[in-house]
């Protein structure tokens, strides 16, 4: 069977998750390779979550949170971006392709942007090919 990417999207329940919902109600289509996990806030996303997804064979991990100023818990997204950037530097230095991990702020009203972002992410990962970590690294 031809390879199909598996994309994990970790979405904040107050914004990106609702953006996904809106994309659905407005019938914007986005690739079926996307698997969404809902979290209370992007500040809840630990580097371990991203690593775990990659280790278990996700071909890409996308984190979606509220725009600055809109985080329900005020500072969760500021913390999220610091952690994300530092994790990305660490992982990239160790040879993980930086394109496999992304973060973007997508609000609940940006259904269209959500669908676009997913389509772009899917295309980028198809270009990159399967995650070389699959079954390879330490478990």
Partner 1 sequence: MSKPKLAYYLAGGCGGCDMAVVDISEALVDVAMALDIVFWAPTVADVKYKDLEAMPSGSIDVGLFSGNVRNSEHEHIAKVMRDKCKILIALGICATSGGIKSLVNLHTTEQLLETAYINTYSTDNPDKVFPQTQYVVDNKYELTLPKLMDARTLDQVVKVDYYIGGCPPHHEHVAKAVTALLSGQLPPPGSWITMGKAVCEVCDKNPVLTGKSKEFAKSVKRIYEGTPDPEKCLLEQGYLCLGPVTQGDCGSKCPSVDIPCRGCGGPIPGVKDYGLRAVSAIASMLDNEELVDQIPDPVHLFYRYTLAGSFLGKRLKR
Q: Could you list the residues that contact ligand FES (CB under 6 A)?
A: 12, 14-15, 41-43, 65-66, 71-73, 76-77
For residue 34, the surrounding DSSP H or E stretch is strand 34-39
Q: Which residues 6+ apart lie within 8 Å of 80 measured at CB?
A: 41, 42, 43, 45, 63, 65, 103
Please state the closest distance from residue 110 (CB atom) to partner 1, in A: 22
Q: Which residues pair with 9 in a beta bridge?
A: 36, 62
Closest to partner 1 by CB, 84 vs 114, is 84
Binding site for partner 1 (CB under 8 A): 46-48, 51-52, 54-55, 78-79, 81-83, 85-87, 89-91, 93-96, 132-133, 137-138
Closest by Cα among 15, 32, 5, 1 to 114: 15
Please state the closest distance from residue 1 (CB atom) to ligand FES, in A: 37
Closest to ligand FES by CB, 29 vs 85, is 85
């Amino acid at each position: 069977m031809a390879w199909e990417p598996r994309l994990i999207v970790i979405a904040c329940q107050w914004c990106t998750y609702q953006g996904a919902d809106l994309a659905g109600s407005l019938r914007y289509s986005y690739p079926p390779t996307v698997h969404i996990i809902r979290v209370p806030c992007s500040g809840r996303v630990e580097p371990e979550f991203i690593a775990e997804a990659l280790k278990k064979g996700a071909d890409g991990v996308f984190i979606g949170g509220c725009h600055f100023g809109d985080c329900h818990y005020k500072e969760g997204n500021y913390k999220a971006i610091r952690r994300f950037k530092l994790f990305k530097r660490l992982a990239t230095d160790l040879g993980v392709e930086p394109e496999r991990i992304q973060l973007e702020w997508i609000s609940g009203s940006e259904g269209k942007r959500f669908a676009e972002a997913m389509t772009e992410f899917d295309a980028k990962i198809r270009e990159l090919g399967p995650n070389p970590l699959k079954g390879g690294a330490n478990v």
